[in-house]
Amino acid sequence: MKSEIIIALVVVVTIAGHIALYRWVKFKIHEGVILKFLRDAKADGASASFQAHDIAAHTEISSERVVVVCGKSADINSDPEVESGWRAS
């Protein structure tokens, strides 16, 4: 009976680790896509900041996800001059 508990605990910890790793990788991919868009747009002479729905339209990431990623990212800052605007740091 004791070995079943240990096996179950190992399985639960492994699954939790995989879920955490999956979420982190997904965040980093989305963060990279958004940063690339913001930096490329700035290099092309476009506005330095974009609203979430504009970023979503160009990156094919949902607006809700863009807001979450931009809010968590250390490399993307909110733009106080533009409502729900984001810019690369």
Tens digit of pLDDT at every position of the chain (89 positions): 789 999 999 999 999 999 999 999 999 999 999 999 999 888 877 777 899 999 999 999 999 999 999 999 999 988 887 777 888 87
The number of domains in the chain is: 1
The model's pTM is 0.83
Q: Which domain holds residue 78?
A: 2-88
CB burial readout 24-38, b (16+ within 10 A) else e: eeeeeebbebbbebb
How far apart, in whole angstroms, are the C-alpha atoms of residue 76 and residue 86?
Answer: 7
Q: Give residues with Cβ within 8 angstroms of 83, minimum separation 6.
A: 51
The kind and range of the H/E element at 18 are helix 2-43
What is the C-alpha to C-alpha distance for residues 31 and 27, in angstroms, rounded to an integer? 6
